[in-house]
Amino acid sequence: MSSAAEQFVNYLPTRPYCTDDLSSGLQIRPRGTAIKKAYIQQNGPGILRWLVFDVDRPGAALAWEQGDLAPPNFVAVNRENAHAHLVYLLSPGVCKTAAAREKPLRYVAAIERAMTTRLGADRGYAGLITKNPLHPRWRVWEIHDHPYALGELAEYLDLRAVRGAANDSVMPAEAHGLGRNCALFDAGRIWAYSAVRDHCGVQMDRSCGIRSC
């Protein structure tokens, strides 16, 4: 087992979602059982360690070269149609819990959005599960074992347009990938401001925050 595959196994959730057949739904299983399935959950609920892009066209394994992007750590290719998942390891991982800092989450969401566009990847891909690189159903191309800092991935991208678009109002249902987390955060914040104002009968002061009730 190579280093990239070892890292994939080491970072798996304790009880990941998994399946051999997407049409039959997902199951939660112990890691030792889940690792035998064709599809598996790569990130735990609290931290993002892997960015995965679903490219649904023949020759997908080389989409990163065509898009002039950093090479993924590995690519898992469908043997029947040459569609692929391109997988990038992040170090450090990005926290996604309620305690997460907003800035890193927005940064990685902007990177994901820009890379999705450059790769021509599926915007509807939820990112919950990926092709298991240890399963024989897939042809796996392991390129390197270097974990990426977010800044390294951003060096290949122009995030100005992405950040400008991200500043527009986006509803959670309209967002994709990690952008859903940011959209939900914004929607929740707007609701909270309104709820506090209605409850306290005070006006919001954006320069000072919420005044005491």
Q: Does residue 206 come out as left (phi exceeding 0), alpha (psi in the -120 to 50 range) or beta?
A: alpha
The pLDDT of residue 176 is: 53
Averaged confidence pLDDT in the chain = 84
Angle, CA of 15, 138 and 43, to the nearest 5°: 30
How much is the average pLDDT of 35-39? 98
In which band, very low, low, confident or very high, does the pLDDT at 177 lie, cut at 50, 70 and 90?
A: low
The pLDDT of residue 199 is: 47
Which of the residue ranges 104-108, 118-122, 171-175, 183-187 would you say has the lowest mean pLDDT? 183-187
What string of DSSP letters covers 59-119? TGGGHHHHTT-PPPSEEEEETTT--EEEEEEEEEEEE-STT--HHHHHHHHHHHHHHHHHH
Most confident of 1-10, 141-150, 159-168: 141-150
In which band, very low, low, confident or very high, does the pLDDT at 178 lie, cut at 50, 70 and 90?
A: low
Residue 164 near residue 121, CB atoms below 8 Å: no
Residue 125 near residue 175, CB atoms below 8 Å: no
In which band, very low, low, confident or very high, does the pLDDT at 26 lie, cut at 50, 70 and 90?
A: very high
Provide, for the chain, the percentages of residues in helix, strand and coil under a 3-state DSSP scheme, each rounded to the nearest 5. 35, 20, 45
Rounded distance between C-alpha atoms, residue 169 and residue 182, angstroms: 11
The pLDDT of residue 73 is: 98
Percent of the chain with pLDDT over 70: 74
Rounded distance between C-alpha atoms, residue 126 and residue 29, angstroms: 20
| Tokens read off for 200 | 């306290």
In which band, very low, low, confident or very high, does the pLDDT at 99 lie, cut at 50, 70 and 90?
A: confident
> Which backbone phi and psi does 21 adopt, to 5 degrees?
-140, 110
Give the model confidence (pLDDT) of 60-92 as tens digits.
Answer: 999 999 999 999 999 999 999 999 999 999 999
